[in-house]
A and B are shown apart, each in its own frame.
Chain A
């Protein structure tokens, strides 16, 4: 579909308002947006997710607004006292709400970094566009403003985790928030990021986030995305992880609530012997729609990637899983595993799952599998035969199904936080164990 008028107007406004190293980058991206258009169901990568329907209305873009922590206190992540907290309000980084504890963590406004670290920003900002050729990714780049550059220097391990809050203040108007960040881990650096979304107010919010992460040799990244926003909140969350040296990454995506949610997780393995783990859990009800698109691109030999996505779908919720694995001709001895398991808890819920392997090398180990089913009757009977009531047994099995994914969250405060939410939803009594 064509670029909506309100976007054109607001783009002109932004270009006039802020001139920086990024002006040209935005101009190019806007041309891409005009060329691609907002994707409809006809777009192969968007055939189950009606993102275009979000553009039936106008949004305020980059709408800067005052905010205090009191207004966010209900949504503050546990363990925040020991965390570096970065807050984006309506897509714009807000330094006064943010709180940096670690001296080893460098945080700069993106437009400043574009001058200070020109080489890095020129090389790595916008790389996700090579993999996501659509108007949504271009939309983020066309409006790059108020983003951040996060860097960890060589051999520094940032002890305190980074918590990123993408806040949309939709009290009076519909808001389009586009938080943008570029994360750079130098050699042997370590970082843990937890990211979440918060919508305040009852108007519509649409958060189109792009985070591009670069890992040099021996860098180690853990990334957790917790999605538990309200039902007037939609989001496209793109996390693009580029392993430029032999390095390690782990990503855990937990989707619990929201309106329309699309996650793009791209793992680009550009050095041999990289290791990447991707886990996902969707626990949905109502009419929430969650679409997980993952890409693993093996561009060098001997890399390992392991992917496990699970879904529990209740009510009229819908899930999509699309897992692409590319193994380029040079990427011999690739180990790539993928598994997607889904349980439908109601007649109204549905899920579409599609593994997609494109392998051009001949000496590789790749596996993929997907299941869609109901609760395992045999397991249910096993628990009941030990005296456990049917309802408790069901809750235990569903909780066990989910915990398999959550166990990969090594931040105990975050894991507990998610466990409490899902246990309550599944009527599982955490106190009994």
Chain B
């Protein structure tokens, strides 16, 4: 589904990603962990096409297409979704109108007819229940004055509405209390199927108690330095990232 080969990227001339290699297949959950400044968010941003980053080397194939050549909205149309670490507040645009426009633009990209009012209402009600979101939240301006938990729930609600093939969760757990993490993870797990995949970026292991990964990758200094099963996350939580640094030091020393 997604194949990243030797990806290098810079921001303001500074190299952040220094050769990422990663393959994700349908039905898989991958977690990327790493200390601050390792390049976790940069990877999410480069994959989704946020302006300001320059890819200097490497390639990303998504569903057989050169992902990096597509505009952000085309990537969404292809089935890529990013749950933002800091969802943007947009005054004057109601969440419902925004989601409706997004759903229909994505459908248009995929060659599907736009949803009529009845079908949209049915879909939105189903997904609202899934994310424990009420109508009053949706009629408010997008994310404006939402609590941290409401913002993240709204992100996963949008994911549920857009039904992406690959969802990237960028620090979706940061700043959330345990109840909110449960609701958000629950939503992700219900959307999860053998057809789609999740790439969860997180600093802490806690989220992975709820969204259980098939693979854990450690990102450090712009590279994936270690990959392993879900137990690797527990080891990282226990020993801290210093153990990776030490291990790397030994490797480099050898």
Contacts and interface: CB of A to CB of B under 8 A. Distances in A.
Interface of A: 376-379, 381-390, 392-393, 396-397, 399-404, 407, 432-433
Given A381-B51, A386-B158, A387-B73, A400 B109 contact: no
Given A381-B50, A382-B84, A399-B92, A387 B98 contact: no
Given A385-B82, A433-B101, 7 more contacts: A382-B84, A386-B73, A387-B76, A387-B105, A387-B106, A396-B101, A432-B97
A385 B91 contact: no
A345 B105 CA distance: 25
Given A383-B98, A400-B93, A433-B97, A390 B88 contact: no
B123 to A, nearest CB: 15
Interface string B64-79: 0000000111011100
B227 to A, nearest CB: 27
B92 A381 contact: no
A399 B91 CA distance: 10
A392 B105 contact: yes
A400 B91 contact: yes
Interface string B158-195: 10001000000000000000000000000000000000
B100 to A, nearest CB: 7
B49 interface: yes
Interface string B81-109: 11010011011111001101110111001
A404 B82 CA distance: 27
B196 interface: no
Interface string B47-69: 01111000000000000000000
Complex A-B, nearest 6 residue pairs according to Cβ-Cβ distance, in ascending order: A400-B92, A387-B76, A387-B106, A384-B72, A400-B93, A386-B102
Contact of B76 (A376, A384, A392, A399): A384
Contacts of A384: 49, 71-73, 76
B6 interface: no
B141 interface: yes
Given A396-B98, A397-B90, A385 B48 contact: yes
Nearest to A429: B101
Nearest to A393: B73
11 contacts: A381-B51, A382-B90, A385-B50, A386-B105, A386-B106, A387-B77, A390-B73, A392-B101, A393-B73, A399-B92, A399-B93
A329 B109 CA distance: 63
A433 B100 contact: yes
Nearest to B104: A432
Interface residues of B, number: 32
Given A385-B82, A386-B162, A396-B93, A378 B88 contact: yes
A404 B91 CA distance: 7
Given A384-B72, A400-B90, A377 B104 contact: no
A393 B101 CA distance: 10
Nearest to A399: B92
Given A397-B93, A401-B92, A433-B100, A389 B105 contact: yes
Contacts of A403: 92-93
Given A381-B51, A382-B87, A385-B82, A390 B76 contact: no
A239 to B, nearest CB: 25
Contact of A387 (B50, B90, B93, B162): B162
B52 to A, nearest CB: 8
Interface in B9-33: none
Contacts of A404: 91-92
Nearest to A377: B51
A384 B73 CA distance: 5
A385 B49 contact: yes
B90 A432 contact: no
A386 B106 CA distance: 8
A389 B106 CA distance: 10
A31 to B, nearest CB: 49
B70 to A, nearest CB: 11
A281 to B, nearest CB: 11
A387 B88 CA distance: 16
A309 to B, nearest CB: 15
Nearest to B73: A384
A385 B72 contact: yes
Contacts of A396: 93, 98, 101
A385 B51 contact: no
Residue of B50, B75, B90, B104 contacting most chain A CB atoms (<10 Å) = B90
A403 B94 CA distance: 11
A371 B101 CA distance: 29
A386 B51 contact: no
Contacts of A379: 88, 90
Contact of B71 (A382, A383, A390, A407): A390
Contacts of B141: 400
Nearest to B50: A381
A400 B144 CA distance: 12
A403 B91 CA distance: 8
Contacts of B72: 381, 384-385
Contacts of B88: 376, 378-379, 382
Nearest to A406: B92
A381 B75 CA distance: 12
B104 A401 contact: no
A388 B105 contact: yes
Interface string B238-250: 0000000000000
Contacts of B50: 381, 385
A232 B158 CA distance: 48
Nearest to B161: A386
Contacts of B93: 396-397, 399-400, 403
